[in-house]
């Protein structure tokens, strides 16, 4: 059966580092963050009206990655499309994407929530700061408690250095 991992976490929580480590260790397919591509190509952050399209593009990229690969291939989604809904809540106080994002979250074999215990580092125009990271982390916690868990969607929070995080995910996967 196909295994998909969706990564959750605010900025600078090690999602991309973990995704690359998982791909290297397990020879997995990576689905990168479309939001990052959008910001780079457009030279700006998205507007509220563009959020739904960004989430749809992320979902489509995930579906495309699943096409034509073997049944044992792992797909790592960095991040899970759900993060677009969470960013919409944080930036625009807009919860309209939460329901479709929750429905899509059911498609992941494993959802990983990367903790904020690693140092925050600036990364050009795409970083808002450690305070914003904490706000997004709080929103993720709210979504997990109030939306995902009641829907029967399990989210695993991981902390520590990337080596510990990698080991934790490998254990979850039975590797």
Tell me the domain boundaries of the chain. 3-172
- 79: tokens are 């991040």
Spelled out in words, what is the top-level CATH class assigned to the domain 3-172? alpha beta
72-94 pLDDT per residue, tens = 789 999 999 999 999 999 999 99
Residue 1 is predicted with a pLDDT of 39
Higher pLDDT, 56 or 2: 56
Average pLDDT, integer, range 121-144: 82
Residue 108 three-state SS: coil
pLDDT beyond 90 at 97: yes
In angstroms, the CA 22 to CA 80 distance is: 15
7-53 pLDDT per residue, tens = 999 988 999 999 999 999 998 999 999 998 999 999 999 999 999 99
DSSP state of 150: G
Instruction: Quickly list H helices, the chain.
Output: 15-26, 34-42, 51-66, 82-92, 98-105, 130-143, 162-172
Average pLDDT, integer, range 42-70: 92
Inter-CA distances, 104 with 88, 122, 156, Å: 16, 30, 17
């Amino acid at each position: 059966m196909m295994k998909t991992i969706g990564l959750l976490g605010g900025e600078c929580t090690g999602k991309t580092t973990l995704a690359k480590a998982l791909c290297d260790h397990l020879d997995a397919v990576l689905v990168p963050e479309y939001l990052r591509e959008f910001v780079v190509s457009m030279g700006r952050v998205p507007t509220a009206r563009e959020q739904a399209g960004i989430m749809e593009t992320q979902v489509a990229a995930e579906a495309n990655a699943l096409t034509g690969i073997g049944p044992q291939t792992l797909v790592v989604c960095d991040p899970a499309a759900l993060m677009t809904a969470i960013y919409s809540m944080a930036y625009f106080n807009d919860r309209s994407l939460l329901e479709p994002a929750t429905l899509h979250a059911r498609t992941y074999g494993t959802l990983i929530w990367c903790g904020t215990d690693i140092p925050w580092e600036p990364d050009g125009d795409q970083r808002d700061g450690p305070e914003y990271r904490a706000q997004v982390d709080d929103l993720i916690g709210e979504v997990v408690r109030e939306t995902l868990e009641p829907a029967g969607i399990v989210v695993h929070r991981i902390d520590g250095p990337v080596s510990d995080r990698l080991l934790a995910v490998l254990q979850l996967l039975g590797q």
